[in-house]
Amino acid sequence: MKIRIAGIVEESYVDGEGIRFAIFMQGCLRNCKGCHNPETHALDGGKILDTEEIIAKIKKNPLLTGITLTGGEPLLQIAPALELAKNARNLGLDVWLYTGYKFEEIPNDAAELLNFVDVVVDGEYIEELRDLDLKFRGSKNQQIIYLRRCSNDSD
Ligand code: SF4
């Protein structure tokens, strides 16, 4: 399945807990002031890959804790995001999803995807609420929501 991405970080330590394969999905309409990834905004930017290529790269790294779907706005490409999340789950990896939507405003179309997501980091980036001490998020309004236990939890 085709997916438009801005880039991939094959081993990230900042896009969620553990060692993560981070997929920066292309396209975002929010234009948050101070956004750190403005190159991800154009809906026709980035490059198109096949999800199978990405899954093959994920399979090559036995050290991964999970994958992170980020962007950009992953929920603008729900079908390929679901494909990646399902495959990650089958590989025993956990899935973090970053979205500009507040959790309660996530569209119904994403319900199946959420079944394969372990952690959601929600909400737009609000520059006035920026806090460098926050882990895995940029501004205080954003929440880390654990939908289910992650594979690297110890208890
Ligand atoms: S939702 Fe994320 S990618 Fe989109 S403009 Fe805001 S900070 Fe940037």
| 71 CB within 6 A, ligand 1 | yes
| 40 CB within 6 A, ligand 1 | yes
User: Helix axis angle, 51-59 relative to 78-90, nearest 10°?
Assistant: 20
Give the DSSP H or E segment for 83: helix 78-90
> What is the pLDDT at residue 97?
98
**pTM for this entry:** 0.94
What is the distance between the alpha carbons of residues 83 and 127, in angstroms, rounded to a whole number? 32
pLDDT digits (tens, 9 = 90+) for 56-97: 999 999 999 999 999 999 999 999 999 999 999 999 999 999
**Amino acid identity at 4:** R
Measuring from atom 3 of ligand 1, which residue has the nearest CA? 72
> Of all atoms in ligand 1, which is nearest to the CA of residue 100?
1
What is the distance between the alpha carbons of residues 121 and 42, in angstroms, rounded to a whole number? 22
* Coil, helix or strand at residue 137: coil
Using a 10 angstrom Cβ sphere, with 0-12 exposed, 13-18 middle and 19 or more buried, the burial of residue 86 is middle
Q: Which domains does the chain have, with CATH numbers?
A: 2-146 (3.20.20.70)
